[in-house]
């Protein structure tokens, strides 16, 4: 077995990106994701890569846009307020149909908010953030190991579908340390015939652009893009099920809250309550089918979130509101204890919604 | 379980813990402060970390206060204010010579700048130990060469030379007796390359009893809310 190393979640993202063949990082520091930039600053010069601290978040996302247009594996990372600044670039990248990996290690909001962990950028990540009709593939790691493995997968998905993958983490997973392993695998290389690599006067020049002067062409582009999105919704949803076999109550939680929820589920099971957990790993595409199937078996859902209730809307949509969906939440950087989740489970067990 | 009696320690008035971020400085500083207090010393622990937003000395506030240990910590630690502040009370460390001071310095060279303010006074008094905390399972200190690079950056930033090494090589909850024994050669190589003695090996208390052949400081670690069910 490969060696176990002890890493912070943020470092794991950076190291995984390097192992995935990313040699270009453009960013701007912000707590609680600064270790990604710090790690890149130390490592990239030693391996012939580029670490560049841009003058702003807006500059850094546009550097990603440019480097990606040139066919390179490229990334940026930030935390909530910084992602808002990158929103324009995210929309342009989507409109140009080119790949990028963007990391959001979320903190409390809105506005400058605070530096403690949060999941309140769920809407921003899964429903847009920038303008126009577009999607990003959104991956939600729940461990330091997943910070690494989903980063590598994120690059592959971005290249495969030529679009942005966002790693939606939170401050705690970014800062916490766990032992992890990297598999010795060569990065997958995707053909990018559209890339701006120089024609050498041997082919027609490529254009990477999001501007369409004719509305019918722009409409056609949008329809084509959404055919691709439908394909992704069909093929790429990922989730984990925990103690769901005979569950009568289903807790839904992603990222850091899924760990707290797991402890609560384990406690509730000791008390004889039949409860399980569905953890979405992809937030877009949302694991709709597994939740729809669960809605026929369980009597209630509990959405556990570090927000005022964002994912809960997707849970209601996925389950077609067949069963009650309650919210167990904290916000602003506060974190629920396993006991708070446990009491939400006990309430649901008693039919109190 | 065999407890802390592995070594009789000779203490300096000031003990400073520095190293790569994530090397374990905060846990070691808290446990060492408790050890001093258990020996009847008047102890003050200072969190001079100006880098880390989470997982601070302040997390151990209750335990420290239960042992009668004074905690000097930025009023902004564990809050939403992202301000690298050094508390004014930190001057007690160098001015009040009746206390035993334990100092938790932030990670890497950036964190070590905070100590620079006190470097002259610490060196003038001359009763200190500056411990370099190392973990070979951390990616940027996995080789002796990389470890020395970090060490030199810290010394340059704070203006104090290390006087000893604390080997905290671990892989979190997966650490075993073998993890520690396997790391001894690395710690010795760092020691040889720097000329610094290995002061301590630190290890979580459930396995420290199996390592009586080494100078061990057993560590009590906090349970975290995000630890997974066993």
pLDDT > 80? residue A126: yes
Query: What's the Cα-to-Cα distance from A37 to each of A225, A267, A317, rounded to whole Å?
Result: 32, 39, 37
Is B82–A115 a contact, with Cβ atoms under 8 angstroms apart?
yes
pLDDT at B5: 41
3-state secondary structure of A278: strand
Interface of B with A in 42-71 (CB under 8 A): 52-55
Q: Which fold has domain A239-349?
A: Rossmann fold (3.40.50)
Strands A275-280 and B14-19: unpaired
Interface test with B, best of A82, A177, A270 (most B CBs within 10 A): A177
The domain ranges of chain A are 5-235, 239-349
- Look at residue A206 and tell me whether its pLDDT is greater than 60: yes
Q: Which residues of B137-168 are buried (b: 16+ CB within 10 A; e: fewer)?
A: bbbbbbebebbeebbeebbebbbbebbbbbbb
pLDDT recorded at residue B8: 59
Question: Who has greater pLDDT, B113 or A265?
Answer: A265
Residue entry with tokens 């990003």: A136
State the nearest Cα–Cα gap between B169 and chain A, in angstroms: 10
B 147-166 → A contacts, CB under 8 A: none
Q: What is the 3-state secondary structure (H, E, C) of A26-46?
A: EECCCCCCHHHHHHHHHHHHH
Q: Across the interface, which of A35, A177, A266 has its CB nearest the CB of B172?
A: A177
Shortest Cα distance from A61 to chain B (angstroms)?
24
pLDDT by residue (tens digit) across B33-79? Answer: 999 999 999 999 999 888 777 888 888 999 999 999 999 988 777 77
Q: Supply angle C-alpha B34, B39, B42, rounded to 5.
A: 70
Contact list, A335 vs chain B (CB under 8 Å):
225
Mean pLDDT score, A21-46: 95
Interface of A with B in 171-200 (CB under 8 A): 171-172, 175-179
pLDDT of residue B48: 86
User: Which chain B residues are closer than 8 Å to A6 by Cβ?
Assistant: 22, 135, 137-138, 170-172
Note whether A222 contacts B: Cβ–Cβ < 8 A: no
ipTM comes to 0.87
Structural domains of chain B in order of their starting residue, each with its CATH number:
14-219 (3.40.50.300)
CB-nearest to A172 from B21, B171, B226 is B226
What's the predicted TM-score (pTM) here? 0.93
Q: Is B84 on the interface with A (CB under 8 A)?
A: no
Partner-chain contact B139 A11, CB within 8 Å: yes
Instruction: State pLDDT tens for residues B103-150.
Output: 999 888 888 988 999 999 999 999 999 999 999 999 999 999 999 999
Query: Is B195 at the interface with chain A, CB within 8 A?
Result: no
Instruction: Judge whether residue B3 has pLDDT over 50.
Output: no
Name the residue among B54, B81, B137 with its Cβ closest to that of A172: B54
Centre a 10 Å sphere on the Cβ of residue A323 and count the other Cβ atoms it contains.
Answer: 20
Domain formed by A5-235, architecture: 3-Layer(aba) Sandwich (3.40)
Percent of residues, chain A, with pLDDT higher than 90: 97
Helix (H, G, I), strand (E, B), or coil: what is residue A222? Answer: helix
């Amino acid at each position: 077995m490969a060696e176990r190393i002890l890493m912070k979640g943020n470092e794991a993202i950076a190291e995984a990106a390097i192992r995935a063949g990313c040699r270009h990082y453009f960013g701007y520091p912000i707590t609680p994701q600064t270790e990604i930039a710090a790690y890149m600053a130390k490592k990239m010069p030693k391996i012939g890569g580029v670490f560049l601290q841009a003058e702003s978040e807006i500059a850094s996302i546009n550097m990603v846009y440019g480097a990606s247009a040139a066919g390179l594996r490229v990334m940026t990372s930030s935390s909530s307020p910084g992602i808002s600044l990158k929103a324009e670039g995210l929309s342009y990248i989507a409109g140009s149909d080119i790949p990028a990996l963007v990391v959001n290690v979320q903190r409390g909001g809105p506005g400058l908010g605070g530096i403690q962990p949060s999941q309140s950028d769920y809407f921003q990540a899964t429903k847009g953030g920038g303008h126009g009709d577009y999607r990003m593939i959104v991956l939600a790691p729940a461990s330091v190991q997943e910070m690494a493995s989903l980063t590598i997968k994120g690059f592959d998905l971005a290249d495969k579908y030529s679009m942005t993958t966002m790693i939606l983490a939170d401050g705690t997973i970014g800062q916490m340390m766990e032992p992890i392993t990297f598999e010795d695998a060569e990065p997958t290389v995707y053909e990018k015939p559209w890339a701006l690599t120089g024609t050498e006067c041997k082919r027609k020049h490529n254009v990477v652009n999001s501007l369409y002067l004719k509305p019918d062409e722009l409409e056609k582009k949008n329809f084509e893009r959404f055919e691709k999105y439908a394909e992704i919704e069909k093929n790429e949803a990922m989730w984990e099920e925990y103690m769901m076999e005979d569950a009568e109550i289903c807790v839904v939680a992603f990222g850091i809250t899924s760990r707290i929820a797991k402890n609560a589920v384990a406690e509730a099971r000791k008390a004889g309550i039949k409860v399980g957990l569905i953890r979405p790993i992809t937030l877009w595409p949302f694991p709709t089918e597994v939740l729809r199937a669960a809605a026929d078996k369980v009597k209630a859902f509990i959405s556990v979130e570090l927000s005022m209730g964002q994912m809960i809307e997707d849970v209601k949509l996925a389950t077609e509101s067949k069963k009650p969906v309650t919210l167990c939440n904290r916000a602003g950087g506060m974190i629920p204890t396993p006991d708070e989740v446990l009491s939400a489970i006990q309430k649901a067990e008693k039919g109190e919604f | 379980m065999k407890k802390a009696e592995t070594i009789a320690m000779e203490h300096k008035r000031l003990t400073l813990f520095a190293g790569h971020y994530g090397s374990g400085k905060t846990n070691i500083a808290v446990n060492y402060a408790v050890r001093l207090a258990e020996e009847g010393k008047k102890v003050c622990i200072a969190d001079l970390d100006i880098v880390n937003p989470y997982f601070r000395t302040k997390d151990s506030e209750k335990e420290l206060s239960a042992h009668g240990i004074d905690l000097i910590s930025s009023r902004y630690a564990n809050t939403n204010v992202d301000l690298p502040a050094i508390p004014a009370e930190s001057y007690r460390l160098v001015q009040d010579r009746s206390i035993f001071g334990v100092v938790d310095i932030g990670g890497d060279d950036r964190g070590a700048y905070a100590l620079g303010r006190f470097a002259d006074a610490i060196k003038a008094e001359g009763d200190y130990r500056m411990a370099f905390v190392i973990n070979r399972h951390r990616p940027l200190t996995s080789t002796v060469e990389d470890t020395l690079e970090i060490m030199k950056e810290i010394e340059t930033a704070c203006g104090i030379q290390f006087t000893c090494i604390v080997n905290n090589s671990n892989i979190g909850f997966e650490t075993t007796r073998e993890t520690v024994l396997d790391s001894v050669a690395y710690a010795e190589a760092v020691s040889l390359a720097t000329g610094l003695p290995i002061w301590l090996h630190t290890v979580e208390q459930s396995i420290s009893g199996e390592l009586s052949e080494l100078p061990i400081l057993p560590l009590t670690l906090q349970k975290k809310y995000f630890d997974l069910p066993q």
